[in-house]
């Protein structure tokens, strides 16, 4: 008998204000077992989602309003907030029981935004710290998912069609796009699940109504990679275009 874990990462934009029903509709349509959410402002909102979707919830311990939370239909065995370097960054860590014999640890992140080199330097430092934590604390199956707010090496970026205020962030860099932070994940042996299955597709996730860049990723550790069956950017139902400014990403692992 096969056992499956469907993992979604979803930046819901400012606590899902006035979009709660749309967010629920998107999540329900794709039936994830675990959802990693970014831009949760209040525990009350996360708990409402958990109640509506009949899932357990966990929210990182952090004063910063743009917090990371998780929903799970599997029993949550362990929860932890992992500090990240600078500006009060925090990563989420939960361990879920897929079966009595299969446990998976899921990390959720939301790295600092902006496309300038100094922002990329902060993201790189945060990922270095997270990877050190993973090396020291993880031996089992695990994934890192979330809004990394950066471009993967080799990815196409369509900023020429972006609003002027977005393009302006790279003007003083002569149009260069900083993109070295995610190399740390690859160098540590983690697999970019979407790119592993779609080497030639853009996989853009932002903005949801006309995607121009890929900022949302799911990374699997080497032991977890063989179980990866699918990884897709969510483009249905139609309400996903207005439920948030990001499109979710869903990966399926079969044991």
Q: For 4-254, CATH number?
A: 3.60.10.10
Residue-wise pLDDT for 103-145, tens only, equals: 999 999 999 887 777 888 999 999 999 999 999 999 889 999 9
Indicate whether this model's pTM tops 0.85: yes
**Domain parsing of the chain, residue ranges:** 4-254
Contact 134, 217 (CB under 8 A): no
The H-assigned helical ranges of the chain are 20-30, 43-53, 117-137, 164-171, 183-187, 193-197, 240-243
Buried b / exposed e along 101-115 (16+ C-beta atoms within 10 A): ebbbbbbbbbbbeeb
Contact 216, 11 (CB under 8 A): yes
3-state secondary structure of 176: coil
Residue-wise pLDDT for 200-232, tens only, equals: 999 999 999 999 999 999 999 999 999 999 999
Q: What does the alpha-carbon distance between residue 132 and residue 122 come to, in Å, rounded to a whole number?
A: 15
The arithmetic mean of pLDDT across residues 225-246, rounded, is 97
């Amino acid at each position: 008998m096969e056992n499956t874990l469907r993992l979604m990462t979803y930046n819901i934009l400012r606590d899902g204000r006035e979009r709660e029903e749309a967010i629920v509709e998107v999540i329900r349509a794709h039936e994830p077992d675990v959802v990693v959410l970014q831009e949760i402002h209040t525990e009350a909102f996360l708990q409402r989602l958990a109640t509506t979707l009949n899932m357990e919830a966990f929210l990182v311990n952090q004063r910063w309003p743009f917090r990371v939370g998780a929903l799970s239909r599997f029993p949550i065995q362990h929860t932890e907030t992992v500090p990240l370097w600078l500006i009060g960054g925090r990563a989420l860590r939960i361990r879920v029981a897929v079966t009595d014999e299969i446990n998976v640890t899921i990390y959720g992140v939301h790295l600092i935004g902006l496309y300038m080199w100094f922002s990329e330097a902060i993201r790189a430092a945060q990922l270095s710290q997270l990877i050190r934590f993973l090396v020291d604390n993880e031996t089992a199956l695990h994934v890192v998912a979330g809004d990394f707010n950066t471009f993967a090496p080799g990815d196409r970026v369509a900023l020429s069609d972006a609003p002027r205020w977005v393009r302006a962030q790279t003007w003083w860099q002569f149009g260069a796009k900083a993109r070295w932070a995610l190399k740390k994940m690859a160098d540590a042996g983690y697999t970019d699940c979407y790119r592993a299955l779609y080497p030639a597709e853009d996989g853009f996730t932002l903005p949801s109504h006309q995607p121009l860049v890929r900022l949302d990723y799911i990374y699997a550790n080497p032991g977890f990679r063989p179980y990866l069956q699918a990884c897709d950017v969510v483009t249905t139902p139609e309400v996903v275009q207005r439920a948030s400014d990001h499109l979710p990403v869903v990966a399926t692992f079969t044991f």
